[in-house]
Chains A and B, each alone.
Chain A
Amino acid sequence: MPGFCYFPHTEEDIREMLRKIGVDSLDDLNADIPADFVYKGEYDLPDALSEQQVREFFEGLAAKNTTLKVFAGAGAYDHYTPSVIPYITSRSEFLTAYTPYQCEISQGTLRYIFEFQSLVCSLTGLDVANASMYDGPTAAAEAMRMCVASARKKNTVLLSAGLLPNVRKVVETYAKYSGINLEYIALKDCRTSLDSLKALLESGDVAGAIVPGINRLGIIEDLSGFADALHGAGALLAEYCDPSALAVLKTPAEWGADIAVGDAQTLGIPLCYGGPYVGFMACTQAHMRKLPGRIVGEARDSQGRRCFVLTLQAREQHIRREKATSNICSNQSLMALWVTVYLSLMGPQGMKEVNDLSYAGAHYLYDRLLETGKFRKVSDAPFLKEFALEPLVDAKALQNVLCEAGFFGALLTEEGYVTFCVTEKRTKEEIDAMIDVIKEVRE
C-alpha cells in the first residue's frame, strides 16, 4: 500500500497493532468474513489526483453554476444569511453535524440546543420543542406518527392538499411503511377546506391532521374551527409552518394546534441544492411524552449550578425499543446552531423587518405581474411573500425566458398555476427588470 498522507496510521503503526493482537496481516484480521461476502474483483476507481488537480476539478464543476436572481419559493426561500453566522458556527468548539453522544460532558452543545428549543417554543407558542429534526418533510412525517401514537387505536391521518408536494411525498413514504392510512383534505378557493375536514372526520378513525400555516400557493390559511373540529373527534391538529413567517402571523398555539413542525431553512440557511436544512418540532405539554427525538432540559448539578441534560429519554428508541413513537435518535445539530445564531442576531424586530420587506416586495411584484396582462388572479386570500397566478402564456416558455435573463421564478403548480416569491433580498430594480423581461414574452 502506498503511503497516503491523509491516512492516520503508518505501515509501522498497522504492523505494531497487528503484532499486539497476534494477527499476521490485515487479511488474517478479516478472515472471519465469509468468502461469499468478500469482493474479489478489481475496484474500478480513477487514479489518485494531486491536491492541485482535485482543486481544479471542483473549480471546473463550480464554474458551470449560473447564479440566478431567485423569485421562487416552494419550500426553500432566499433569505439573507448574515456573515456572523458561518463565522460563529465554524468555530471548532461547535463544528460538528452530530448530535451529542457523550452528552452531559458537552455542556456547550446542550446549551445551544436548549436555546434552539426555547426559540422554537417562542415562535410557535407551544410548550416543548425537540432538539431539531432532519428537515421539514421528515418532521411532518414524525407529526403523523405522533398523532397515531397519541390516539392509540386510530390509524388515519389527514393531510391538507395544500401541503408542498415534497412534504406529501415523504409523509406518504413513512405512512406506507408504518401501516398508517392517509386521506387528503381538499382545497376550496385555494385554502384547506374545513368542510372537507369535517366530512373526513366522520369515519371515526382519524388520529390527526397536518395542515399548512401558509400553503403551497402562498396563501395564509385561516385555521379557525380546525382545532375544535379535530379535538371534538379525539384527533390532533399539527400545523406545518414557515418559522420565519411565524414572527408576524398567528402562532400554532393561537390556532389551537397540538403540534407544530416545519423547515427552519427560512431562518438564515442559504439555498445549497436542497441542504443541509433543519426541521423543527414542538408540541403542547400534554403530548410531550410522544414527542420524538432528543430533548435537552435544564437541571441543577450536585452543587446547585445550572446545567443541561438530555431528558425524557424513556420516550426514545434505545429504551422504549419498537414501542417508541419514532426511531430518530439524532438531531441536525449544526444547522440548529445556525438557526439559533440567526434568531439571536435578528431578534423580534429584525424578524418583523424581514417579513415587512418580503411582504412589500411580493405585493409589488403581484400587482406588476397582473398589469402585464399575462396572468389572471386565482384568489383574493391574503399572502405574505409567495403567491400563485394563472399564466395566460405558456408556463414552460416563461420559465425558460426568465432563466436566460438571469431570473428563477414561475414554478409550475399541479393546477397549472405559476408561483413567485419575493424575499427581503430582492430589490425594486430587480423586480422591475424581471417585469421588463416578462412583458416581452409572447403567447
Chain B
Amino acid sequence: MSKIIEGLLYSESHEWVKVEGDIAVIGVTDYAQAEMGDITYVDAPSEGDEFGKGEEFGALESVKASSDMYCPVSGEVVEVNADVVDAPEKVNEDAYGAWIIKVKMSDPDELSALMDAAAYKALTDK
C-alpha cells in the first residue's frame, strides 16, 4: 500500500505538487517509486529551463527501466534538488521528501486540474 499525503496535489502521471506561494515543489509519488524499483539515476533539468504543463522535464532510471517525468504546471525551473541527483535512492526512501524541482508557476490556475489526495488514492487503487 503506497503512501499518499493530504494537502499535496497529484497528477495522473504520478507527480506530486506542493504549493508554496507561486512556487510549485515537484516530486514523484510513493506509488511511482514503488513501481520503478531501485532508482539509480535522476535525469533532472537545469535551472532556468522552462516547461509547459504536461511537458517532459526529466526521467528516472531504475536498474531495468526508465520513466519520464512530466511537469504538472507550466513555469520556469528555479531550483533542482542536487541532493537527490547525487543520491537517487532518496526517492525510494522518502518520495515526498525527495522533491526534484521547484518551478515558478506562470499560470497557477492550472493547479485546479490536479487531483487531491482522495482522488489520487482512487486512481491508484484501480
Contacts and interface: CB of A to CB of B under 8 A. Distances in A.
Interface of A: 152-153, 289, 313-315, 319-320, 323
Interface string B55-77: 00001011111101000000000
Interface in B33-54: 40-41, 43, 45, 49
Of A314, A315, A320, chain B has the most CB atoms within 10 Å of the CB of A314
A320 B41 CA distance: 14
Given A289-B61, A314-B41, A314-B62, 7 more contacts: A152-B45, A152-B49, A153-B49, A314-B63, A319-B66, A320-B66, A323-B68
Given A289-B41, A289-B43, A319 B49 contact: no
Interface of B: 40-41, 43, 45, 49, 59, 61-66, 68
Contacts of B49: 152-153
B52 to A, nearest CB: 11
Nearest to A321: B66
A216 to B, nearest CB: 36
A320 B40 CA distance: 15
A291 to B, nearest CB: 13
Contact of A323 (B41, B63, B66): B66
B27 to A, nearest CB: 20
23 contacts: A152-B45, A152-B49, A153-B49, A289-B41, A289-B43, A289-B61, A313-B64, A314-B40, A314-B41, A314-B61, A314-B62, A314-B63, A314-B64, A314-B65, A314-B66, A315-B66, A319-B64, A319-B65, A319-B66, A320-B66, A323-B59, A323-B66, A323-B68
Contacts of A152: 45, 49
A155 to B, nearest CB: 15
Nearest to B57: A152
Contacts of A289: 41, 43, 61
B62 to A, nearest CB: 7
Contacts of A313: 64
Nearest to A234: B46
